[in-house]
Amino acid sequence: MNIVPTPATTPVSARPPNKLPRPNDPCWCSSGKKYKKCHSDLDVDYLKEERKRLEANRVKPGKISPRREVPDSIGKPDYWQTGTPGRGTGRLVRTEEEIVRMRRACKAAAKILRLAGEFVKPGITTDDIDAYVHELTIKEGGYPSPLGYRGFPKSVCTSVNEVICHGIPDDRTLLDGDIVNLDVTIFLDGVHGDTNATFCAGNVDDESKQLIRVTHECLMKGISAVKPGRPISDIGREIEKHADQFGYGVVRAYCGHGISETFHAALQIPHYFDARSTTKMEVGMTFTIEPMIALGTWEETTWDDEWTAVTKDLRRTAQFEHTILVTTEGADILTRE
């Protein structure tokens, strides 16, 4: 897969940096002057020009092809026709039998994501990716969970560059230098397995490569915080702490979630520190951790399609996701092949 997993060390130099100093702080250029007496005005001009460039190159909605069909022989979730999911059981802890099924579904999701990532390259459309993921999911004997969920029209989410999440596959062609997040979920044996990763299309700039590396590190640091008896807020604390070292924004509008027979179950997993997230982790819980990390602001806006979320400043964003099981030892990553 053309992910960039090399560990990150020092932030890529930028002008201006991702997080600007306050007016009376020392300038980021190490001149020894206060920021307001040094680069403040220059950075305002730089950011205006950068905004023009980003506006000119922003991802735009394309043409969406008709919904793909799923064979009658494939088991389907309760929302596949109406788009409205049931409320589920409300249980947070899974039975041993449910966990066995979860392992199968998550392993299938991991395989599909790997193959879909290998498929990413300049010149293909995001709709091509959707067709491929749809085919792979059916080959695994499963249903593509996004298809029809609350009206989502496609089998995978393809989020390119400044698109944070929920990008709808269409006829937009991937360009050399794009980054694209693929969010794959399969409904198999009555449960959902959910995973995603960010991939490079062709030759990607160093700033985006570092963003991808750090986002993956954020995911793994969040997973390392999973311990029975600890509050869920520990997960976001570790993610936010690592992202802050690079001046990156942690998207707050979307979070991880409980998952099993219900696609999005009751648990919510913030990716930033939220003191209100006091629910204690218990052995047998299954949920996703899926941080969305942005080069600039964490603030987002949504397209008129009511799905596609993009960063407000149009700077790039990356995401990685695993479905995990809480064990006595910590986290068991289910979405590994």
Helix (H) or strand (E) holding 52: helix 40-56
Residue 10 has a pLDDT of: 40
Looking up tokens 């690592």 gives 242
Predicted pLDDT of residue 9: 42
* pTM, 2 dp: 0.91
Is residue 115 situated within a structural domain?
yes
In a domain, 294, yes or no: yes
In which residue ranges of the chain is pLDDT below 70?
1-15
Dihedral class, residue 42 (left if φ above 0, else alpha if ψ from -120 to 50, else beta) = alpha
Domain span at residue 274? 89-333
Q: How many CB atoms lie within 10 A of CB 51?
A: 13
Per-residue pLDDT tens digits for 109-139: 999 999 999 999 999 999 999 999 999 999 9
Residue in 12, 284, 46, 321 with CA at minimum distance from that of residue 196: 321
Domains in the chain: how many in total?
1
What pLDDT shows up at residue 15? 66
Q: How many CB atoms lie under 10 A from the CB of residue 322?
A: 26
Task: Give the CATH number for residue 211.
Answer: 3.90.230.10
Residue 27 lies in a domain: no
- Answer whether residue 169 is part of any domain: yes
Q: Does 84 map to a domain? A: no
pLDDT at residue number 11: 43
Beta strands in 90-190 (DSSP E): 143-144, 157-160, 163-165, 179-188
Is residue 305 a part of any domain in this protein? yes
**Cα angle, residue 187 at apex, residues 214 and 227 outer, rounded to 5°:** 45
The model's pLDDT over 175-208, given as tens digits with 9 standing for 90+, comes to 999 999 999 999 999 999 999 999 999 999 999 9
Give a yes or no: residue 22 inside a domain. Answer: no
First to last CA, the chain: 13
Q: Which two tokens stand for residue 138?
A: 């059916």
Q: Does residue 158 lie in a domain region?
A: yes
196 vs 334: CA distance, rounded Å? 13
